[in-house]
């Protein structure tokens, strides 16, 4: 079977057939950097990290581009608020410099939490401010006009798809026949809810701004239409094609971006004569205890807060994976605790296995049961990234591994070395497979494959021997010695397990 993905554009599950395999171009709408990232941002970033990982696992050569919106009304608003707390006479910064400072601070915060979650950086991460004028240092000279928002807006005006008005420039929705295809709405339906806000110079309420005239103190660029800044939608049409070409494979984002953002991205790019994205992938939204997350409701949860509380990035990832990416997901302490328990079970097995596998080579052929489970994993992921199905396979692997540990212990008690070694080989196969499949999902990165030194191993054996002789004082002394060396010793029915303190 091959990978199938749900394409919002066709509203169907489609076989994934890239334009120029094995290359795959993937563009995802990135953050508007005006606040600390919340868990909804983490979900979107992680889902597309999993997609990228799985495509690589499937042998594709992925180029992943994610933009940064670093000029926007919300950033300007935030900068004004921060300046407003200073006495006007003592302001040391103008608004423009403050906007840059705000954007830089929150982009750093975004990078920081994604790094802590073990989510890899994109291959390219263009900033909107780097693509307003045709002077981007990141693109070849021949592409500079096309890779600039002012260049593309000028072309749209020439093609009679856009018009300047009162220092702004608007895209004329009625002149683009395919408008509404992605969100499955007709311009006539949309018209009912649309209106022209005070200060806008639209000819039609459906039209949207490509360029906004700037107030004197706001960040601005000189343009044929006067000083101003770009609208949000145009940046993604311009930057995605600048780095991935006029036609590329996948465009992703949250389902809240389908309309108007992605609809407008398509209108702009197609009106410029570009085929644009083939597959449109959208992740579902996140609620907190059944409610939409917002600062005013006081349920705004930052990624930083969750990472501090659980001290283990995989807990949040396990929680996200437990729900299919297109479905809504509800964050609650109970749901996180359930994810923690599930993760604990898997990590516990990996730790026992990492002790057993010292000096043991895994069997060259994987047992049938593991091969079958691996196939089940691929089948789940091939079906529109069915991560709940993939996680169920990881649980089955752990169960199989636990059974082998028990069998190995029984063989050990009976003094049956051959059976014991056979089972241990099986445990190693299971743990290697679990790690490999976990890595496809970005899991277990922090469960280091640590190796004990010979000396520490001897200490553990001595302690276990003392415990069996019921010399508890000696066994406690050795435990303290191990603890001082930075290890946690946990006694289980299967024997002691040892792992580094995190």
Binding positions for Zn ion, rule: CB under 5 A:
29, 236
Supply the minimum distance, in Å, between the C-beta of residue 109 and Zn ion. 20
Which is closer to Zn ion, CB of 270 or CB of 463? Answer: 270
Supply the minimum distance, in Å, between the C-beta of residue 131 and Zn ion. 13
Phi and psi dihedrals of 187, rounded to 5? -55, -30
Supply the minimum distance, in Å, between the C-beta of residue 146 and Zn ion. 17
Supply the minimum distance, in Å, between the C-beta of residue 82 and Zn ion. 26
Residues 43 and 316: their CA atoms lie apart, in Å, by 9
- Answer whether 136's CB lies under 8 Å from 148's CB: yes
Which is closer to Zn ion, CB of 34 or CB of 163? Answer: 34
Which is closer to Zn ion, CB of 232 or CB of 320? Answer: 232
Which is closer to Zn ion, CB of 246 or CB of 379? Answer: 246
Which is closer to Zn ion, CB of 122 or CB of 313? Answer: 122
Residues 478 and 484: their CA atoms lie apart, in Å, by 10
Which is closer to Zn ion, CB of 29 or CB of 55? Answer: 29
Supply the minimum distance, in Å, between the C-beta of residue 239 and Zn ion. 9
> Cβ of 314: how many Cβ atoms within 10 Å?
25
- Answer whether 279's CB lies under 8 Å from 9's CB: yes
CB crowding 15-45: b at 16 or more within 10 Å, else e? ebebeeeeebbbbbbbbbbbbbbbbbbbbbb
Supply the minimum distance, in Å, between the C-beta of residue 178 and Zn ion. 18
Supply the minimum distance, in Å, between the C-beta of residue 155 and Zn ion. 19
Q: What does the DSSP assignment read for 363-424?
A: PSS--HHHHHHHHHHHHHHHBT--HHHHHHHHHHHHHHHHHHHHHHHHHHHTT-HHHHHHHH
Q: In three state form, how does the secondary structure of 317-359 look?
A: HHHHHCCCCCCCEEECHHHHHHHHHHHHHHHHHHHHHHHHCCC
Which is closer to Zn ion, CB of 99 or CB of 234? Answer: 234
Q: How many CA atoms lie within 13 A of 89 on its CB side?
A: 0
């Amino acid at each position: 079977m091959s990978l199938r993905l749900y394409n919002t554009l066709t509203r169907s599950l489609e076989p994934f057939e890239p334009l120029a395999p094995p290359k795959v171009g993937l563009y995802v709408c990135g953050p508007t950097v005006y606040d600390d990232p919340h868990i909804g941002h983490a979900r979107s970033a992680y889902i597309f990290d999993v997609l990228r990982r799985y495509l690589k696992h499937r042998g594709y050569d992925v180029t992943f581009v994610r933009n940064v919106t670093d000029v926007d009304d919300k950033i300007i608003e935030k900068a004004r608020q921060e300046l407003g707390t200073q006495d006007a006479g003592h302001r040391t910064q103008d608004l423009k410099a403050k906007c840059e400072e705000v954007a830089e601070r929150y982009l750093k915060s975004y990078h920081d939490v994604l790094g802590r979650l073990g989510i890899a950086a994109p291959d390219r991460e263009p900033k909107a401010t780097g693509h307003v004028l045709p002077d981007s240092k990141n693109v070849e000279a021949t592409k500079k006009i096309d890779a600039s928002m002012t260049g593309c807006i000028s072309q749209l005006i020439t093609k009679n798809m856009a018009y300047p008005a009162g220092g702004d420039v608007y895209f004329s929705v009625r002149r683009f026949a395919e408008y509404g295809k992605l969100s499955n709405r007709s311009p006539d339906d949309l018209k009912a809810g649309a209106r022209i806000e005070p200060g806008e110079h639209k000819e039609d309420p459906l039209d949207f701004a490509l360029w906004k005239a700037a107030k004197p103190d706001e960040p601005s660029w000189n343009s044929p239409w006067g000083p101003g800044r770009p609208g949000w939608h145009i940046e993604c049409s311009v930057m995605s094609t600048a780095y991935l070409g006029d036609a590329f494979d996948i465009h992703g984002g949250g389902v809240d971006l389908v309309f108007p953002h992605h609809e407008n991205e398509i209108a702009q790019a197609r009106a410029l004569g570009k085929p644009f994205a083939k597959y449109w992938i959208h992740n579902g939204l996140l609620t907190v205890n059944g409610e939409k997350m917002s600062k005013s409701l006081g349920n705004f949860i930052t990624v930083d807060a969750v990472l501090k509380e659980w001290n283990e990035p995989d807990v949040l990832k396990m929680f996200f994976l437990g729900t299919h990416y297109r479905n809504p997901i509800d964050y609650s302490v109970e749901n996180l605790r359930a994810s923690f328990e599930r993760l604990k079970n898997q990590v516990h097995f990996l730790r026992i296995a990492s002790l057993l596998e010292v000096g043991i080579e895994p069997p060259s052929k994987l047992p049938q049961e593991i091969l079958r489970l691996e196939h089940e994993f691929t089948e789940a992921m091939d079906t529109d990234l069915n991560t709940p199905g993939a996680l169920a396979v990881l649980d089955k692997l752990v169960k199989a591994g636990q059974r082998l540990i028990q069998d190995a212990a029984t063989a050990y008690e009976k003094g049956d070395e051959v059976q014991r070694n056979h089972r241990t080989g099986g445990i190693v196969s299971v743990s290697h497979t679990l790690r490999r499949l976990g890595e496809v999902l970005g899991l277990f990165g922090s469960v280091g494959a640590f190796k004990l030194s010979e000396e520490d191993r001897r200490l553990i054996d001595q302690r276990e021997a003392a415990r069996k002789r019921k010399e508890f004082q000696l066994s406690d002394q050795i435990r303290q010695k191990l603890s001082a060396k930075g290890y946690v010793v946990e006694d289980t029915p299967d024997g002691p397990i040892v792992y580094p303190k995190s």
